[in-house]
Amino acid sequence: MAGRTAGGNSAFHNFHNDYAHIADPNERRRLALAEIDKAPFGWYHIRAIVVAGIGFFTDAYDIFAIGMVTTMLGVVYWNSTRIATAKRGMIPASADTAIKAATSAGTVIGQLGFGYLADQVGRKRMYGLELIVIIFATLAQALTSRSPAITIVGVIIFWRVLMGVGIGGDYPLSSIITSEFATTKWRGAMMGSVFAMQGIGQFAAGIIALIAISGFKGSLKSAKNRGTCTGVCGVAVDKIWRIIIGFGAVPACIALYYRLTIPETPRYTFDVTRDVVKGGSDIKAYLSSTPEGVPDEIARVQTMREQAPQLEIPKASWSDFAHHYGQWKYGSVLLGTAGSWFFLDVAFYGVSLNNSVILQAIGYGSSTPNMYLYLYNIAVGNIILVCAGAIPGYWVTVALCDTIGRKPIQMMGFVLLTILFCIWGFGYYKIGHHGQLACYVLCNFFFNFGPNSTTFIVPGECFPTRYRSTSHGISAAAGKIGSIIAQVAIGTLRTRGATPSNASPWLNHVMEIYALFMLCGCFTTLLIPETKRLTLEQLAGEVPGTPQFDPALAGMSASRNIDRSDSDPSDEVAAEKAHQQV
């Protein structure tokens, strides 16, 4: 039993004494984590959503904005009289693909690297560093230019790879921190809300582009088309793309302080650093919206020395990682989350290749009398497409994932997307442009009210604390590898056999390929567990008396299992609070 310490008042609570009378560190851990799991939804949960969500707002803004920016780069840097008139003002397809794929390549590195490091050195130590990388690389892009020694494409690719590393780090960190601080009842909604900020980021990219374009209206009207946009028009377009890119650093700067001051997640403190006293105090700090708990250091060190060896949670190691995932029971879950994300992102990122077709179908991609209307229509058209399907889909998932469940939503999404892509591909010439618009909007909706949201949520819940961030990073990296394949390999099939009258003759076959990937996603979904309304410890197999319980993983004796299986942590927390008042 840990000794009680003096001190503490209404402003500075003595966290150490809350469970000091409990000798078993495993019981202290269980009761402390129950406070987070059973806590009513409050402002501290909203704060966690906003701090994590701003990162995804920035990520989506940077990824989505480049689709409009590459069009402007073509106007600025490929407008020489040495270029054929028909291609003047247009970025080469190879350069466009390289710039967009560079972000995904960097994201893979960031997801794997930051995911691993967050399990090794802690969530708190890594959280904020990825945002610093994003801010630095974003500002560098906005200020970059070509020189005799290097092309503009080479410079932008370098900075977008670096920015991708930061964006990739945000995936496992934001997911895991939100998951480990969330109340069990609304964990899915909290994680979904963080991810739904991607839709708001896409919308903001269109709005900022629209404002910047309107600000240079007079200069842009001086040119009739991309090939004649030189002089003041060219300077205006050069300023516009830099403003659009640079604004992406603003929300990241606002969120940086809050990320750097967020407390370590108590689950990491308990299970990895094995500091029982600090973990309990951090829980109290989080629930009171303070940066971190400040326990009595002498008592903390003494308790850690005495009780850390008694904790039954396995320690992380390469051999334990291989043994854990070498068992089909656990390895199949990682295969399910990584495989589902991979199959999803092939189609999710590939559909963006058809924006020009969709914009033309709704009247925003046709010929215009001047550059102002051309760029204005691109911005407005993209805003319409985002609002039509993406944003509603994200928030329907937030509303329903804790009632319907993650697995049914993901399976429904993959099945409907398979059907929609079959209609789009096999009926391409029969449904016409308006039919393609309907397919695009419905696909966008069921991407987000479906696997695009759930593939982010489930990996943040279904793995043990010691490998949760690494496993999420592996799953997310598999998705980004799929996006690279979509952009570099499958995307190029679209223009196979292109003619002046038909720039995308293979577009229908590309849609058919995406249908196959969505069908494969149905099978990998069968491998993932349903995580709705289950605690993270139950999903990790640590709670006796539950279907998921694994005695070998929890490291408990049979007699202790029986003693704990009939108790409710919420009842024991209430009893402990009553004890403190006596």
- Give 367's Cβ-side CA count (13 Å radius): 3
Confidence of residue 86 (pLDDT cuts 50, 70, 90): confident
pLDDT score at 109 = 96
State the DSSP H helix or E strand holding residue 186, giving kind and residue range, or none if neither. Answer: none
Compare 240 and 24 and report the one with higher pLDDT.
240
pLDDT at 568 over 80: no
pLDDT score at 296 = 54
Contacts of 397 (CB under 8 A, 6+ apart): 192, 196, 409, 448, 449, 450, 453, 454
- What's the farthest any 2 CA atoms get from each other in the chain? 87
Helix (H/G/I), strand (E/B), else coil: 490: helix
The DSSP output letter for 502 is B
In angstroms, rounded to a whole number, what is the distance separating the alpha carbons of residues 508 and 570? Answer: 56
Q: How many CB atoms lie within 10 A of CB 41?
A: 13
Confidence of residue 299 (pLDDT cuts 50, 70, 90): low
- Give 137's Cβ-side CA count (13 Å radius): 26
CB 371 within 8 A of CB 88: no
pLDDT score at 21 = 58
Compare 9 and 62 and report the one with higher pLDDT.
62
pLDDT score at 40 = 82
In angstroms, rounded to a whole number, what is the distance separating the alpha carbons of residues 63 and 143? Answer: 18
pLDDT at 10 over 60: no
Percent of the chain with pLDDT over 70: 80
CATH of 43-267+320-538, picked from 1.10.1760.20, 3.90.1300.10, 1.10.10.10, 1.20.1250.20, is 1.20.1250.20
In angstroms, rounded to a whole number, what is the distance separating the alpha carbons of residues 410 and 401? Answer: 10
| Encoded amino acid at 555, one letter | G
Average pLDDT, the chain: 83
Confidence of residue 555 (pLDDT cuts 50, 70, 90): low
pLDDT score at 545 = 81
**Predicted structure pTM score:** 0.86
Mean pLDDT of 298-311: 56
Q: Give residue-wise pLDDT tens across range 29-43.
A: 777 777 778 878 888
pLDDT score at 46 = 87
Confidence of residue 16 (pLDDT cuts 50, 70, 90): very low
Q: Give residue-wise pLDDT tens across range 315-330.
A: 788 999 999 999 999 9
Bridge partners of 204, per DSSP, are none
Mean pLDDT of 182-189: 91
| Encoded amino acid at 348, one letter | F
Among 191-200, 266-275, 542-551, where is mean pLDDT lowest?
266-275
Q: How many CB atoms lie within 10 A of CB 256?
A: 18
